[in-house]
Structure 1
Amino acid sequence: MTELVRNKLFEQIAILLDMARQKVMTTVNHTMVQTYFEIGRMIVEDELQGNERAKYAQSQLKGLSEKLTEQFGKGFSVSNLKNMRQFYLTYSEQSQFLEKEFAKLEPIRQTVSSELIKKDTEKQTFPLSWSHYQKLIRISDPYERRFYEIEAEKNHWSLRELERQYDSALFTRLALSKNKDEIRALALEGQKIEKPADLVKDPYILEFLGLSEMPSYSENELEQHLIDKLEHFLLELGSGFAFVGRQKRISFDEQHFYIDLVFYNRLLRCFVLIDLKIGKLKHQDIGQMQMYVNYYDREMRLEGENQTIGLILCQDKTESLVKYTLPEDNDQIFASKYQTALPSKEALLALLQE
């Protein structure tokens, strides 16, 4: 009994120490980024006092780098000092940009959002790591930069995941079906999950599966790879998804049917059924998904939950087939393409324009 008590005490203290260390690391990180912003400000202000900026960049920064490195160690190379300078310039301009853009939102959202940005700009708070901001300052479009900053903080993206989401053009994919005001809201406030269509991307980028190296694969192999890389797939699906099961059987009239993947979305409080299709989408595929959705709505959905959403992932589809197979007021069944290789920016833009 004594040994059990000691083990329990050890575990409790270990958890407390881990939490304390994490808190210290977070505080140190935020302080460091804030300090780099201030260093950038000082460099810009000092630069503005001179007459020749090019000469300043070549001589002053080199000398400053050598002195700081001598006294404080690594982290103050000329290139990093230039990043601090750019960090200050980028986020000073962004503060002014955001104030103007939030004023264009509808009154209720404008009031809430302007208060948030006011606090942010007054204190210049930076919740992400310095590595994240080194990536963000290289995004020239302020809408796009703001979106990735919000989503990286909200979803706890690592730098690698931020780079992946940017390379797969997440902002562009989400903005594709939105009007001008919706795109502004998406950029300034991040992704909002308020209706079924908000969950859907087109296309989905599944380069993390490694299937691009395989000349051919079956639907079962695609499903297995998604299960093997479930954490990556959940990040690609977006916010609020929880995995329920694979090959979920439904039975009636002595017939058995199997749904490839079943998820639950906590934000919309509904089941999300996913069917995987190799090749081009057929109208029978949509009819099959309609049956799955109807079954879950009538047999599995609990009181207070919202209607089931069905998503068919296919390699190819025609919009006309989807349009005329589904009712005009459809808000439950969606069909999206998927890509098993990360396309070039040009190829992705061409795909989105289709």
Structure 2
Amino acid sequence: MSELINRKSDFFYRIAKLLKQARNSVVQSINRTMVHTYYEIGRQILEEEQYGRERAEYGQQLIKDLSARLLKEFGKGFSPTNLKQMRSFYLIYSKGQTLSDEFKLSWSHYLKLMRIDDEKERKFYEIESIKNNWSLRELQRQYDSALYARLALSRDKDKVVELSQKGLIIENSKDVVKDPYVLEFIGLPEHSTYSESQLEQKLIDKLEHFLLELGTGFTFVARQKRITFDEKHFRVDLVFYNRILKSFVLIDLKIGELTHQDLGQMQMYVNYYDREMRLPDENKTIGIILCQDKSQAVVEYTLPENNEQIFASKYQTILPSKEDLKHLIESKGA
């Protein structure tokens, strides 16, 4: 009897999966058709404006008249503002933008992207939205946390250009590290008093958000993972695995300023994982210490010159000032 019930349940699950896939496919098809249609409307509006360019008010009146007729026949969605957005969409995406020929995102995504003035930054968020299947909310969050600016801070000029052409390409351990990490989703004020265990619990409670902040390819493995040798016990705060790099990523949380002892402890954790946990076909373990403050000199003189495994990054619990981050990038490139 139980076998029959399980079989029926499995049968229902398979049928439901097919219907959900079909529904998603239909929605995606509708979105693509809508975006292509709006692009074409924008093109024709611009061409008609150019036809009457000798008359200063022709373009403005054209959109008003078109809006009135479309609203009457097709209903909402064709206000003068919406038609101007379609015109802007064509102007921006007729310039050979990355992936623009296929338009794989929703119209709402493109409305957000069009508000990003910097072309390189806009291309980056378009590529990453497609690669990672970001919802509009996820795209908004990554933009608000200045993901592009934070990644650009740790790269030279050529690498910044590459970000805008290919998105984030993960080839080595440094590519998965950001500085700073923005943890505004945990809801802790910037200067409030809290412990490392409270910070850890907040991150676990918001694990989905934290994985989004960590980036592509991360999966959660464990918290407070115990390491034991010579009858001594140690605990790694958070353990992740990156499927792209094929390596463990250990994260330790530190309240206050980073010390050389913190770096030494992480080096021990990484060595242990490399020697006891890593499989022959996996790459070396990465260790990241998230701290509120750090001396770059302490980091540089504590770790080997050719270090590619241990990293220290600041974290902040409020969204950064995007203008300040851009200023840092400009001063770095000067």
Q: Which has the higher contact order (CA 8 A, sep 6+)?
A: 2
* Deviation by residue 1:168-216 (Cα, 9 ceiling, x = unmatched): 1111111112222221111100101100000000000110110017721
Q: 2:283 aligns with which of 298, 306, 311?
A: 306
AA aligned to 1:334 is F
Shift of 1:345: 2.3
SS in 2 for 1:178: coil
Shift of 1:6: 4.4
The yes-or-no answer on 1:69 pairing with 2:46 is no
**Structure 1 pair 256–6 and aligned structure 2 pair: CA distance change class (3 A):** closer
Q: Distance in 2 between matches of 1:22 and 1:303?
A: 40
Query: Does 139-148 or 339-348 show the bigger shift?
Result: 339-348
The corresponding residue for 2:135 is 158
Q: 1:297 aligns with which of 254, 267, 274?
A: 274
Shift of 1:125: 1.2
SS in 1 for 2:57: helix
The corresponding residue for 1:274 is 251
The corresponding residue for 1:85 is 87
The corresponding residue for 1:186 is 163
Q: Distance in 1 between matches of 2:193 and 2:303?
A: 30
Give yes or no for contact 1:311–1:333 (8 Å, CA) kept in 2. yes
* Deviation by residue 1:122-154 (Cα, 9 ceiling, x = unmatched): xx2100000000011111211111110000111
TM-score with structure 2 setting the length: 0.94
Q: Distance in 2 between matches of 1:199 and 1:326?
A: 19
AA aligned to 2:246 is R
The corresponding residue for 2:30 is 28
Q: Distance in 2 between matches of 1:346 and 1:179?
A: 19
Q: 1:265 aligns with which of 219, 230, 242?
A: 242
AA aligned to 1:21 is R
The corresponding residue for 1:39 is 41
1:97-112 to structure 2, matched below 5 A, reads: none
Q: Distance in 1 between matches of 2:304 and 2:121?
A: 34
SS in 2 for 1:217: coil
Q: Distance in 1 between matches of 2:56 and 2:185?
A: 43
SS in 2 for 1:211: coil
Query: Does 274-283 or 59-68 show the bigger shift?
Result: 59-68
1:95-174 to structure 2, matched below 5 A, reads: 95=96, 120=99, 124-174=101-151
Query: Does 283-292 or 47-56 show the bigger shift?
Result: 47-56
AA aligned to 1:241 is F
Percent identical across equivalent pairs?
A: 64
Give yes or no for contact 2:151–2:178 (8 Å, CA) kept in 1. yes
Shift of 1:344: 2.5
Structure 1 runs not aligned, ≥5 long = 99-116
SS in 2 for 1:212: coil
The yes-or-no answer on 1:226 pairing with 2:206 is no
RMSD of aligned residue pairs (Cα, Å):
1.8
TM-score with structure 1 setting the length: 0.89
Give yes or no for contact 2:52–2:59 (8 Å, CA) kept in 1. no
The corresponding residue for 1:243 is 220
**Structure 1 pair 167–52 and aligned structure 2 pair: CA distance change class (3 A):** farther
The corresponding residue for 1:326 is 303
The corresponding residue for 1:16 is 18
Query: Does 147-156 or 45-54 show the bigger shift?
Result: 45-54
SS in 1 for 2:151: helix
Q: Distance in 1 between matches of 2:315 and 2:123?
A: 26
Shift of 1:312: 0.2
SS in 1 for 2:134: coil
Give yes or no for contact 1:147–1:189 (8 Å, CA) kept in 2. yes
